Amino acid sequence: MSVSVRIPTILRTYTGGNAEVSGEGGTLREVLQKLDADYPGIGARILDESGKIRRFVNVYVGEEDVRFVDGLDSATPAGAQISIIPAVAGG
């Protein structure tokens, strides 16, 4: 499925400064694998050594925080907007 991925400022060094890139995959896991293939190194910034989403990263598919859905197995339908956002904000 073709999706679009919003890249936070601190990861744009990997995407040549692009704030939004296109991605592929039926689940978030697949989308992130493809993202890392396109932009080597970006995957390790989002996922920790054990392959889980880092503690201080929030990932959204559309309006939904994937922690409330199926985490990395969350479905990413065609046209979905995926946002990767640093969690350290607010309060």
Partner 1 sequence: MSLDFGPAVALSCRECGARYDLGPSFACLECFGPLEVAYSFGSVTREDIASGPANIWRYRSLLPVPVDVTSKQNMNPGWTKLVKADNLGKVLGLRDLHVKDDSGNPTHSFKDRVVAIAVEAARNFGFHTLSCSSTGNLAGAVTAAAARAGLEACVFIPADLEQAKIAMARVFGGKLVGIEGTYDEVNRFCSELIGDPLGDKWGFVNVNLRPYYAEGSKTLAYEIAEQLGWELPDQIIIPVASGSQLTKIDKGFKELISLGLVEDKPYKIFAAQAAGCSPVSTAFKAGHDVVQPVKPDTIAKSLAIGNPADGPYVLDIARRTGGAVEDVTDAEVVSAIKLLASTEGIFAETAGGVTVGVLKKLVETAQLDPSLTTVVLNTGDGLKTLDAIAEDASPTAVIRPSLDAFRAAV
Residue 37 binds partner 1 (CB under 8 A): no
Min. distance of Cβ 89 from partner 1 in angstroms?
4
Q: What is the separation of C-alpha 70 from the centre of its chain, rounded to a whole number of angstroms?
A: 14
Residue 26 region by backbone torsions, left for phi larger than 0, else alpha for psi between -120 and 50, else beta: alpha
Residue 2 region by backbone torsions, left for phi larger than 0, else alpha for psi between -120 and 50, else beta: beta
Only one of the segments 22-30, 32-40, 63-71, 72-80 lies at the binding site for partner 1 (rule: CB under 8 A); that segment is 63-71
Closest CB to partner 1 among residues 64, 77:
64
Q: Where does this chain bind partner 1 (CB under 8 A)?
A: 6, 8-10, 12, 19, 45, 54-58, 60, 63, 65, 67-68, 83, 85-91
